[in-house]
Amino acid sequence: MQHQAAMILKQLARKIVRVIEHNAVGYALIANFQSSDRNFLQYRGFLHLHSRVLLALQADIGYLETELDQMDQWDIECGIHSRLACLRDKKRDDLQSRIDVMPDTYRAEFNRTRPDVMLELRTKLVEYDELLLKTREVHALQRPAQRDYESVRNWFDSHKPVVQEELDFIRCKEDLITLRDGRESASFDGFVERCLNALDQFLSSWCHCQVIKRMFITEELRHKTDNLRIHYYAPQRVDTLVNLIITAIIFILLVVPVVLMCKVAGAGGGSTSPFESIAILIVFTLLFGFAMSALTTAKRQELFAASAAYCAVLVVFVGNFGGQQVQIRVVSA
């Protein structure tokens, strides 16, 4: 009965999961591969072209600004202040909107009126602002991690799903962006996945044990590809393992220095130098700062504040423990 249920689940997984190799070639194959894992959603950002277009729009708006300033200066020099002082003047339509009713001196210098310039300026500014904000959003997207980029590049090199001219985009490493949200400890996650892969290869070759695959690869993920060399680890399970490791590291960094300080104080019989405890405090504060910078994406001020708080906790412990030692010696005397 259990075997039949397992077979039914496998059949459902094959129907639900899109297998990469079901599309032999072309962009359909690329779409299957990139959608198979969020880390593979890598595309060109065209950051250089964004800058070129922004610069062109900036130059156009600058020319319009100069033209508008020249029109304003012409009105000032001619003593026509009404067009600058009041936009609701009833003469505005006749004196500003039509070039044919403007004075000859004006037409000799300008070929259009101020409303025409304002209309084009409004259109250009809206286009410029929209592109400026969109470019900022594109620049805010993160670049793919090195291991993810190498996975995608190696897959393209081995499969060559499209012609070489359209395949060269994967070589533009500095222009590639990823749609995957930045994880707090992406580099450490990659290290953990590499360790899992190495451990799985060792166990499979040494004792034919598949415990890593059973723990970190779901039934649906096993059917994503027919390639036996490609394995998709479940992100939720990897995140759980990473969180457990980080929790263990935090526990060690908090407990070990306390135990060492107690050992040092107990071995010295209460007469040890405080510099030994200070040395332990310095070493573990440095280890804490290194661990926080390696396992998280904390900013500098956050790293400084966390390290200061960690150091303060150890200092309070050293002070309280030293005070207790003094009290014990006074009582025993």
Domain span at residue 280 reads 252-332
Give every CB contact of residue 25 below 8 A, 6+ residues apart in sequence.
161, 162
Both 31 and 60 in one domain: the answer is no
Both 73 and 129 in one domain: the answer is yes
Among 194, 199, 192, smallest CA distance to 242 is for: 192
Number of domains in the chain: 3
pLDDT of residue 126: 96
Q: pLDDT grade, residue 333 (50/70/90)? A: very low
Both 87 and 37 in one domain: the answer is no
Q: Is residue 228 part of a domain?
A: no
Contact between 76 and 157 under an 8 Å Cβ cutoff? The reply is no
Burial of residue 4, with CB atoms counted within 10 A of its CB: 0-12 exposed, 13-18 middle, 19 or more buried:
exposed
Q: Is residue 244 part of a domain?
A: no
Burial of residue 214, with CB atoms counted within 10 A of its CB: 0-12 exposed, 13-18 middle, 19 or more buried:
exposed
Both 40 and 181 in one domain: the answer is yes
Q: Is residue 154 part of a domain?
A: yes
Mean pLDDT computed over 174-185: 77
Most confident region among 19-23, 70-74, 221-225 by mean pLDDT:
70-74
Which range, of 10-14, 167-171, 248-252, 316-320, averages the lowest pLDDT?
10-14
User: Last residue of some domain: 94, 123, 139?
Assistant: 139
Q: Is residue 164 part of a domain?
A: yes
Q: Is residue 240 part of a domain?
A: no
- The alpha carbon of 87 is separated from its chain's Cα centroid by a whole number of angstroms, namely 48
Q: Both tokens of residue 300?
A: 């500098």
Of 65 and 194, the structure prediction assigns the larger pLDDT to 65
pLDDT of residue 94: 45
Both 14 and 55 in one domain: the answer is no
Burial of residue 328, with CB atoms counted within 10 A of its CB: 0-12 exposed, 13-18 middle, 19 or more buried:
exposed
pTM beyond cutoff 0.75: no
Both 191 and 328 in one domain: the answer is no
Q: Is residue 236 part of a domain?
A: no
Both 65 and 206 in one domain: the answer is no
Q: Both tokens of residue 330?
A: 């006074």
Q: What distance in Å separates the CA atoms of residue 78 and residue 109, rounded to the nearest whole number? A: 13
Q: Is residue 246 part of a domain?
A: no
Mean pLDDT computed over 213-236: 71
Contact between 211 and 202 under an 8 Å Cβ cutoff? The reply is no
Q: Both tokens of residue 46?
A: 């065209």
User: Last residue of some domain: 90, 110, 139?
Assistant: 139
Which range, of 55-59, 182-186, 273-277, 305-309, averages the lowest pLDDT?
182-186
pLDDT of residue 323: 53
Give every CB contact of residue 186 below 8 A, 6+ residues apart in sequence.
145
**For residue 44, what are the β-bridge partners?**
176
Q: What percent of the chain has pLDDT over 70?
A: 71
Q: Both tokens of residue 64?
A: 């319009």
Of 164 and 107, the structure prediction assigns the larger pLDDT to 164
Q: Both tokens of residue 91?
A: 């003469």
User: Last residue of some domain: 222, 243, 264?
Assistant: 222
Give the position of tokens 């009290």.
Answer: 327
Q: Is residue 159 part of a domain?
A: yes
pLDDT digits (tens, 9 = 90+) for 235-260: 788 888 888 998 899 899 888 888 88
Mean pLDDT computed over 249-272: 76
Both 285 and 148 in one domain: the answer is no
Residue 177 sits at φ, ψ, to 5 deg, of -130, 160
Q: pLDDT grade, residue 93 (50/70/90)? A: very low
Both 14 and 36 in one domain: the answer is yes
Q: Over the chain, what is the mean pLDDT?
A: 78
